[in-house]
Amino acid sequence: MNLFEMVLAMFAVVFFTSISMVYNRASWNQTQRLYDASSFVQASQLCHSVLDEVDAKLFSKQLAFNNIKTTFNTTRTLNLTHVGETYTLDIEAVDCDSLGVPLTSPVVNNIYVSVSVTANTTAGLKHPVTLKRVYTKTHLNL
């Protein structure tokens, strides 16, 4: 092997090493993005489960419409060992108008209640996830 072939071999080693380092860094960044997306999906699912719980209790008549505010103004802490994270769900039920805007003063016989669930976590979630649903009083959920 002469000097020119040795220099070409050195350039090839440096070139392929730098390409592999760039590829490894990109795959590491992608792993972090997947972890963040997984945390967001998990938080959304937990918020939906609370709102679905309200739906189910109203539909099965285990919960009266007037008791939504007393039952669902709470905080829940969920430790998900398979994910390795602890989520805190802040649940707030308030009187609102038909668009879901909270009322500043209570209205007698208000027919709208807004339930909002905010999920926080200690590690993976970059921003809290908040889901909100407006419930209407009908003859089915008295």
Task: Using alpha carbons, select from 91, 98, 97 the residue that is nearest to residue 132.
Answer: 91
pLDDT band at 113 (very low <50, low <70, confident <90, very high): very high
Which H/E stretch holds residue 3? Answer: helix 3-59
Answer yes or no: pTM beyond 0.85: no
Residue 134 dihedral angles phi and psi, to the nearest 5°: -105, 130
pLDDT digits (tens, 9 = 90+) for 48-88: 999 999 999 988 889 888 888 889 999 999 888 777 788 89
Residue 93 dihedral angles phi and psi, to the nearest 5°: -120, 125
pLDDT digits (tens, 9 = 90+) for 87-101: 899 999 999 988 888
